[in-house]
Amino acid sequence: MKHIISALVENKPGVLAHVAGMFAARAFNIDSLAVGRTEDPDLSRMTIVVVGDDRVVEQVRKQLAKIIPVVKVQDFVDQPVVARDLMLIVISAAPEKRAEILSLIDVFKGKVVDIGQKFVMVEVSGPEAKIDAFINMCRPYGIKSVARTGTIAMPRQFKAEDNEA
């Protein structure tokens, strides 16, 4: 099962190496890892997606918490979360296909961020499944390159609020 684990870490050199090294040394599989600053300049947040049974993920959580510069660890399983990926994708776009591609981008609420004679670069964000679906839809046109952030996530704050997830 897929778990989204969020770790608040001290913004110190070596922390990422420590976390990555721990995952490698203990043979845990990282699906994705996203790191970024928070509102507090001393803290960063790592969002790590791991796949494993409950025992494995329990160990992941405990081993992460054991790393000294890791301040807080949360596993978002069993709670409603907003989870998002951001992707930049370059698609081959011959002039005769362009209209078709643009309407596809529209369906996925993507944004054209660069365009040339034979390509478009598109920015898409959303749940991982949506990103995967967009990639699949683009395959027939030819994908030149893809860059993805990996998932970032937050638990839902208001139970009533509902934006498509």
Partner 1 sequence: MCPKLRSTDSSAKSILKPGAQIVVDTLIEQGVETMFGYLGGVVLPLFDKLYDAPINFIIPRHEQGGCHMADGYARASGKVGVVVATSGPGACNLVTGLATAMMDSVPLVAITGQVRTDLIGNDAFQEADTTGITRPVTKYNCIVKDVKDLARTIREAFYIASTGRPGPVLVDIPVDIELEKCSSDGSKEMNLPGYKVQTKGHARQISMAAKAINESECPVLYVGGGVVISDASEELRKFALKANLPVTMTLLGLGCYDQSRAESLDMLGMHGSAYANYAVQECDLLIAVGARFDDRVTGNVKTFAPKAKIVHIDIDPASISKNVRADIPVVGDAKIILSELVKEVEHRDRKEWFKKIAEWKKKYPFRYDNNSTTIKPQYVIEEICRQTNGDAIVTTGVGQNQMWTAQFYKFKRARQFISSGGLGTMGYGLPAAIGAQIAMPGQVVVDIDGDHSFNMTMTELSTAVEHKLPIKVCILNNGFMGMVRQWQELFYNKRYSKSYLANPDYATVARAMGAAGITVEKKADVAKAVKAMLAEKMPCVVDFKVEREENVWPIVPAGKSIHEMNGLDILESLA
Name the residues that contact partner 1, by CB under 8 A.
9-10, 12-14, 17-18, 21-22, 25, 55, 58-59, 62-63, 65-72
Tell me the two tokens of residue 135: 């990639």
Q: Which long-range contacts (CB under 8 A, 24 or more apart) does 121-124 make?
A: 121/88, 121/89, 121/90, 121/91, 122/88, 122/89, 122/90, 122/91, 123/86, 123/87, 123/88, 124/86, 124/87, 124/89
Closest distance between partner 1 and the C-beta of residue 94, in Å?
46
When the beta carbons of 65 and 107 are compared against partner 1, the nearer one is 65
Residues forming a β-bridge with 53: none
Closest distance between partner 1 and the C-beta of residue 144, in Å?
34
Closest distance between partner 1 and the C-beta of residue 66, in Å?
5
When the beta carbons of 64 and 131 are compared against partner 1, the nearer one is 64
